[in-house]
Each structure stands twice: as structure tokens, then as C-alpha cells.
Amino acid sequence: MANFFKENTKKKVNKQSNNIKQSDRVIIDKLDLNGCGVGRYQNKPIFVAGSLPSEVVEVRITAQKNKYTLAKLLNIKKTSDHRVVAQCQHFSVCGGCDLQHLDYEEQLLFKQKKVIELLSRSGISSEQLPWQAPIQSDQWHYRRKARIGVQFDKNTQAIIGFRQKATNQLIAIKSCPVLKKPADDIFPILKALLAKLTVKKAIGHIEVIVADSNNDSVSSLTLVVRQIRPTNTHDRKLWQAYAEKHAWSVRFIENKQAHDIDNEQVDTLANELSYSLQDDIKIYFSNTDFIQINQQANLAMIEQAMAWLSPEPADQVLDLFCGLGNFSLPLAKKVTKVVGVEGIQTMVNKASANAEKNKIDNCQFYQADLNSHWLSDDWAKSNFTKVLLDPARAGAELAVEQLTQLNIASILYVSCEPTTLARDTKLLLDKGYKIIKIGLIDMFSQTKHVETMVLFQR
């Protein structure tokens, strides 16, 4: 490919533009870690979003870099046996899903290969990975919490949906097949409502939450409307009418202040949001709290954690990055003591409240920066027999280093980011631990994201 970077004339710049828009055929060899098809073009990797391995595709070159080429998929000349029709009409432009065009079994295989590749980069061979059957859930209508963006065009017409692929612009959505019902079809209803509002451009986003309820009069579908300016009486009554018609609970957040739609029970809706676990345990949360968005997969994940960790009545278990008590409370039903540790004090308070509401008194929660040195903290001085940790994407490097000093026989690691899992796994293996079991948790079907559970023993 000719180098045009030194060309200065307008005519030659146009020549460069024409060159970039050329089309060509490419054979796709594999998927990269983000689910993008990769082939070879002029002795460099070429990345073609939307393509699959073994496909022959016609592409338009969109960018030439020193080490790779980017291209747009135009036509598929030879189709993969694993290609399926995307169920969502917005799949080609919406940035929410990555793999709807790939057969589900191949999605799972792609995710397992992704974990294997990242572990191999840390020197961990496939022979060290005793894979177990993956945790699966419904492929569609699984997501119980999502943030819907709202933008207004120059005519004050609302665009309601999710970000387009690789941009910050919204794509107008009509329905979303990964959202749980009835949130999946809420978009046209919201568009009709917003068109009638008198305070235009006041809404930043709308969060939808499908949750259990401890009050039969409260809908399981909650909307949290983030306002950059307060709403007025007319608009509030309009929201009220739609809420009654569609059985919503609506909550406004205006200038960081939360209000129920009718202004009668201010700041109480957070206590109404909950989800159920085994043994009649309920986890209560607010819209700002992190929860596992796939309830079916979450229940299966907890069940597998119990089976792999094999809690005994005499065990004392340490639960790091414990959140609201998602693992801590079920574990406490089976052991002598559970200590849950979380970095944010408000989460610690809510986890303690969840234990109290569920009448669980052998579970204590503490606040600590788990990315600092905590071995001298009082809570760390118990005789723990087992550990469970479920960190955020950043992983748990310093926490793992300190755990190895406690000489605990069994460590169960639940990861939402295989890159940091690979780093932390290498630390544990170097300290004398062995991988006993490893398995995928398909928490986010149709996307590139993968969760992994690994059991280590010393």
C-alpha cells in the first residue's frame, strides 16, 4: 500500500481517500478476544467486525495502520456453518451485543478459548485446566437491569436506546431481546411519553430494573429517571398516568435527590428492590448497587460455588469483595462463621442489613481497601478454612498475595475479567496452589463478556 502521509495537494489527498475506500475479498481465520473476525491482508492482520471464521467476505478498507488494517463488512461470499440470524433487529448497529450472529454453542467455545489464550500468556498451559461444564441460562430475556440512554435532536425529538457500536451516539431501539420482560418492549412506550413532556431535554437516562417485590402493590418493573433539571407538575402527572397504566414503579433522581413519583414516600423505593436466593434468602438493594444482572445464572453460580467449595459446619469462610452478601449469606447457612469484606462502607452497611433482615447472625461484614495491606486488621485474624473472592474487573492481585500468607487450603475465585484472572492465577500457582476445577459462567449471553469460576487448592 502506497504511503500518502507526505502528500500535500488536495488532488492527492482525494487519491488517498479513494484508496482507503477500496474493496477486496478476505478469508477470515479466527475471532479476536472481542469477537471481531480476523484475517490477513497485504501481510498484516485485518479486522472485520461481523465476520466469522472460515468465511470469505467482501470488505471495504477503512483504515491502514502500521501493524494492522481495519475494514467494513460489505458482503459474505462464503458463509460459516456456525452463522445464525441475529434475533435483534438492531444487532448490526447497537453496541450492546457482540455475538448474536454466532451459534450459541460456538459462543461458549469462543469464550472458553478466550480464557485459555489469556491464561496461556501467563504461562499456564491447557493441561493445567480441568474444565467443567459451563453454567448456562436462558440465551434471551435474561438481563434484569439496564441503563437506557436519552438524547434529543434539534427538533427536540427523543432518541431512546443504547450506544451505537464504537461511538457515544445513541441508536433508537424498538425492542431488546436480552432484557427481561416487560422491560424488553418499553422503548416505544417511553418515546410516546417523552414526546408529551413539557420540560424537554431534562432527562439524562432511564434505568430499568426488574426485581422481586416485598410488597404486592409495588410493580416488579422499576424505572429510575435521572433528571438534570427538576420536573414540573404536568410532567410528573404524565409519568404517574403511564406508571399506573403499565404497572411501573417510577422514581426520579433530580440534582442527586431521590423522589418517589407521588412524593408521598420519599426515598423508600430502595427498600422495595430485592431478589431471591436459595433457602428463602432475599437480597435488598438500591438502583445504584451492583447486582448480578442474570438471576438464573446467579442462582446456578451460587449453587456451583457451594458444591465446589464444599462448606462444612465447622468451616470459617472469608468472602472478599462480598458486595451485598450474594455469596456470604448462603454460605453462612452452612458454616460456623462468614466474614465478608468490601471496600465501600455503604455496601458493608447494606450487607449487614441484609443479614439482619434474613435473620442470619453468624455473618459479619467489614470495610477495607482490599488493594492495600490488610493482614493486620482484626477481621483477618480468624482461623479461616476457606476463601471465596469475587472481585471487579481489576482483579485481586494484592489480595491474592496476602491470601497466600494465610495458608488457607481452598480458594474459590469468581472472575468477570479473564485478563486479571490470568495474572492472579499465576500468583496462586507460583505459591503452591493447584487448579482443581475451572468452568465458564455465561452471565452475558450474546456478548463477548465471560465470567469464570476457578477452585484452587494448596
Q: Which residue type occupies 11?
A: K
Cα→Cα distances 397→386, 401, 424, 428, Å: 18, 6, 6, 10
* Cβ-contact 433, 411 below 8 angstroms: yes
Q: Coil, helix or strand for 368?
A: coil
Phi, psi of 409 (to 5 degrees): -70, -40
Copy the grid coordinates of residue 252.
426520579
Angle at 98 between CA 389 and CA 39, to 5 degrees: 110
Give buried/exposed letters for 20-54 (b at 16+ CB in 10 A, else e).
eeeeeebbbeebeeebbbbbebeeebbbbbbbbbb
Residues in the chain: 458
The predicted pLDDT at position 219 comes to 47
Q: Coil, helix or strand for 427?
A: helix
Q: Of 94, 322, 363, 416, which one is the catalytic site residue?
A: 416
The predicted pLDDT at position 213 comes to 61
Print pLDDT tens along the chain (458 aa): 333 333 444 444 334 444 556 789 999 999 999 999 999 999 999 999 999 999 999 999 999 999 999 999 999 999 999 999 999 999 999 999 999 999 999 999 999 999 999 999 999 999 999 999 999 999 999 999 999 999 988 888 899 999 999 888 999 999 999 999 999 999 999 999 999 999 878 898 999 999 986 555 444 899 999 988 888 999 999 999 999 999 999 999 886 555 555 433 333 445 579 999 988 999 999 998 999 999 999 999 999 999 999 999 999 999 999 999 999 999 999 999 999 999 999 999 999 999 999 999 999 999 999 999 999 999 999 999 999 999 999 999 999 999 999 999 999 999 999 999 999 999 999 999 999 999 999 999 999 999 999 999 99
Q: Which residue type occupies 200?
A: K
The predicted pLDDT at position 21 comes to 60
Name the nearest CA neighbour of 406 among 435, 379, 425, 380.
380
* Distance from C-alpha of 87 to C-alpha of 445, rounded to nearest angstrom: 12
The predicted pLDDT at position 215 comes to 52
* Cβ-contact 57, 73 below 8 angstroms: yes
Copy the grid coordinates of residue 121.
500468556
Give buried/exposed letters for 280-308 (b at 16+ CB in 10 A, else e).
ebebbbbbebebbbbbbbbbbbbebbbeb
- Say whether 176 is catalytic: no
* Cβ-contact 456, 433 below 8 angstroms: yes
